[in-house]
Amino acid sequence: MCFDVISIFPQYFQPLDLSLLGKAQESGRVQINVHDLRNWAEGTHRSVDDSPAGGGAGMVMRADVWGRAIDTVRKPGRSVLAIPTPSGQLLNQRLVERLAQSEQVVVACGRYEGIDARVAEYYDNVVEFSLGDYVLNGGEVAALALIEATARLQEGFMGNAQSLMEESHSEEGLLEYPAYTAPQQWRGHEIPAVLKSGDHKAIARWRRDQSLRRTARRRPDLLASLQGLDSRDRQILAEEGW
Ligand code: 6GU
């Protein structure tokens, strides 16, 4: 699949050449094109923004500049237009899985007070997304998160497909259980005894209990959509006050 990112700070995307994403680009599994929005700006000042209609603080990015940029890079019919904004829908694994099916994702990174709203209204297959309930200076960091989360779902991206299955937010929607490794003793803390027991059934049960307890304590909002809980699961959740 292919990502086309449009930003006034193309250098923000240099880290995408590192590590697994770098390898995925070298192998051709993932293509990432970064475009400088100013290529589509006009006039002596090449300005990409202007003051908000109706007044108020800050600057808004111009629809005409964005329209020319998106028209140039977008492949109509095979493309999703992803726009990072704190007022978007929450980016979660379900949305990431949907984006991973797309041939092309165009990411339009706004700065200032965002992009003229007519841009999101004009195009088909638009997803306005947010990373969470806090404010960043622009869409670049959110674009990096979206690209990494989506690219790693491509066939052959991960060395071990099993780790994709077990991790947080996949499958059942429970948080992942805690992981341990050597040394056996660290600053007076032991690895939980069950993990050294060799009893694979007991280990699986302990890990599930840990996932349930973590989810109940840290992300109770995720419990509502859980399905297929057995009586032991329910007992664990009851101990956590659910
Ligand atoms: Cl997608 N953009 C900005 N500017 N701030 C955010 C965000 C996005 N997600 C959380 N905060």
End-to-end CA distance of the chain: 42
- Ligand 1 neighbours (beta carbon < 6 A): 84-86, 88, 129-132, 134-136, 138-139, 142
As for the ipTM of the complex, it is: 0.98
Determine whether the annotation assigns residue 134 to a binding site: yes
Give mean pLDDT in consecutive 10-residue pieces for the chain, a chain of 242 residues.
98 96 96 98 97 97 98 97 98 97 98 94 98 97 98 89 67 93 98 98 98 98 94 98 96
pLDDT at 168: 64
pLDDT at 159: 77
| 86 Cα to the center of ligand 1, angstroms | 4
C-alpha count within 13 angstroms, C-beta hemisphere, residue 185: 2
pLDDT at 169: 63
Burial 5-43 (b: 16+ CB within 10 A, else e): bbbbebebbeebeeeebeebbeeeebebebbebeebbee
Candidate of 141, 146, 147 to mutate for ligand 1, largest count of ligand atoms within 8 Å of Cβ = 141
Token pair of 28, please?
């051709």
Determine whether the annotation assigns residue 133 to a binding site: yes
Determine whether the annotation assigns residue 55 to a binding site: no
Strands (E), the chain: 2-7, 31-36, 49-50, 60-61, 79-90, 104-108, 126-130, 185-186, 189-190
pLDDT at 17: 95
pLDDT at 165: 67
Candidate of 92, 112, 130, 133 to mutate for ligand 1, largest count of ligand atoms within 8 Å of Cβ = 130
**Model pTM?**
0.94
Determine whether the annotation assigns residue 141 to a binding site: no
- Indicate which atom in ligand 1 lies nearest the CA of residue 114: 4
pLDDT at 172: 87
